[in-house]
A and B are shown apart, each in its own frame.
Chain A
Amino acid sequence: MNLNLTLIGQAISFAIFVWFCMKFVWPPVIAALEERSKKIADGLEAANRASRDLELAQEQADQILRESKDNAAEIIEQANKRANQMIDEAKEQVIADGKRLREAAQAEIEQDVMRAKEALRAQVSVLAFAGAEKILGATIDEKAHSEIVEQLAKEL
């Protein structure tokens, strides 16, 4: 229970221990702890960033998908329209062709009819002359009566 030199001895050894602890124990342990907590924080942040990136990528993918769907729909619609248009055009073409063919045919027929009529007319006047000659038994002045016969033929 006596106060003596031990007091000073204890104070000195205490000071040395504190110095040693301050110099060689505390800094490396604290450095390791800080580095570890920094690493953990970095890891957490990286995880956060990754999930954010993933979300972003998903969104982007969704958007691209949506866009391509829209595009596809548009293309299909355009193709449909074009097909319809082509069909319409073809129809019109066919109709026009048919009409033209029919008109040509009609014109030809009419021409044929005209030609036949002309021929008939020519024949009719000859026949009429012959018939009249036969009926009258005499020669008729071809020149005087041809006008009448021609008129007759025209009426055919």
Chain B
Amino acid sequence: MASENPTASEYIKHHLQNLTFGQHPDGSWGIAETSKQAADMGFWAIHLDTMGFSIGLGILFLAMFRFAAKKASVATPTGLQNFVELMVEFVDNSVKESFHGKSKVIAPLALTIFVWIFLMNLMDLVPIDFIPRIATDVFGIEYFKIVPTTDINAALGMSLSVFFLIIFYSISIKGVGGFMKELTLQPFNTPIMIPFNFVLEVVGLLAKPVSLALRLFGNLYAGELIFILIALLPWGVQWALSVPWAIFHILVITLQAFIFMMLTIVYLSMAHEEH
């Protein structure tokens, strides 16, 4: 913690600050000591906690699924394999329902999005002070945020990747001409309305990744903020609020992972289809 007895606003700010590594304005490299220092680093800085936890969780996801995939056989599945097959089947059905094109990428992409986001969201249910306290007291790390999806960079990183896939598929399926036609001749199919159409469609196109990222980030950020606020209450009554909120949050984190996955599938299927 920044000080022995932080005020409420200090406590909240402290919990919302990532562990940032970057170049200080004076030219030296290092970890930001305060949130102002982190902000001064500008774009060329990296959130070590976000990266660490998201990559760790991603590897956990892939290791688990790879372990099950290796053993996957016709025989009656048990335990982990059952769970993995359930997930794969669930995602496969979701993809088949909304996506009618042929693509080898969409389904694994959807599975990765769903499980990875779910795991990252799940970190929200770890008691809010638990890991940051260990990080501070044992490793001497000042700031530590363990929920990668409450970092806008993580959400936007995924949604921008999806956005590039939308553009890639739009162009590879419809060609550059077809894609431009879609952007300029809708919704009003007359040459006079081309500028108007273009503005409308580009805004619509850009809104996809932004809304995708902000929805996930907003939900998780708000959720974590409420956990932080609950943590400010006297310790005896915290459970009365944090337990219901955590239970409700189980729904939220699953739902947000599912929404991100479904919207990705829908956007990509829209990119595949001619209007």
Complex interface: chain B residues within 8 A of A20 (CB): 62, 66
Chosen A-B contacts, 16 in total, with CB atoms closer than 8 Å, are: A4-B22, A6-B151, A6-B153, A7-B153, A7-B156, A7-B157, A7-B160, A8-B157, A9-B153, A10-B148, A11-B160, A13-B55, A18-B108, A28-B72, A30-B88, A32-B85
Complex interface: chain B residues within 8 A of A3 (CB): 43, 152-153, 156
A25 on interface, CB distance cutoff 8 Å: yes
B65 on interface, CB distance cutoff 8 Å: yes
Whether the pair A9, B51 counts as a contact (CB closer than 8 A) is: yes
The interface on chain A, measured as residues whose beta carbon lies within 8 A of the other chain's beta carbons, has a size of: 31
Measured CB to CB, the nearest residue on chain A to B62 is A20
Interface residues on B, range: 35 or more
B58 on interface, CB distance cutoff 8 Å: yes
Complex interface: chain A residues within 8 A of B74 (CB): 32, 35-36, 39
Whether the pair B112, A13 counts as a contact (CB closer than 8 A) is: no
B272 on interface, CB distance cutoff 8 Å: no
Complex alpha-carbon distance, A14 and B158, angstroms: 7
Whether the pair B39, A2 counts as a contact (CB closer than 8 A) is: yes
Complex interface: chain A residues within 8 A of B151 (CB): 6
Whether the pair B58, A4 counts as a contact (CB closer than 8 A) is: no
Interfacial residues, chain B to chain A (CB-CB below 8 A): 16, 18, 20, 22, 38-39, 41-47, 50-51, 54-55, 58, 61-62, 65-66, 68-70, 72-74, 84-85, 88-89, 92, 104-105, 107-109, 111-112, 116, 148, 151-154, 156-158, 160-161
Interfacial residues, chain A to chain B (CB-CB below 8 A): 1-11, 13-15, 17-18, 20-22, 24-26, 28-33, 35-36, 39
Complex interface: chain A residues within 8 A of B152 (CB): 1, 3
Given A11-B161, A32-B85, verify A25-B50 contact (CB < 8 Å). Answer: no
Complex interface: chain B residues within 8 A of A14 (CB): 112, 116, 157-158, 161
Q: Which of B20, B62, B72, B148 contacts A29 (CB 8 A)?
A: B72
Complex interface: chain B residues within 8 A of A32 (CB): 72-74, 85
Measured CB to CB, the nearest residue on chain B to A19 is B108
Complex alpha-carbon distance, A39 and B20, angstroms: 53
Complex interface: chain A residues within 8 A of B47 (CB): 4, 6
Complex interface: chain A residues within 8 A of B45 (CB): 2, 4-6
Complex alpha-carbon distance, A30 and B58, angstroms: 20
Whether the pair A10, B68 counts as a contact (CB closer than 8 A) is: no
Whether the pair A22, B109 counts as a contact (CB closer than 8 A) is: yes
Whether the pair B72, A31 counts as a contact (CB closer than 8 A) is: yes
Sample of 15 more A-B contacts, CB < 8 Å, known A4-B153, A10-B148, A29-B84:
A2-B38, A2-B39, A3-B156, A4-B44, A5-B45, A6-B45, A10-B51, A15-B161, A21-B62, A21-B108, A21-B111, A22-B109, A35-B74, A36-B74, A39-B74
Complex alpha-carbon distance, A1 and B154, angstroms: 11
Measured CB to CB, the nearest residue on chain B to A23 is B108
Given A1-B16, A9-B157, A22-B105, verify A29-B44 contact (CB < 8 Å). Answer: no
Q: Counting chain A CB atoms within 10 Å of each CB, which of B20, B41, B65, B107 scores highest?
A: B65
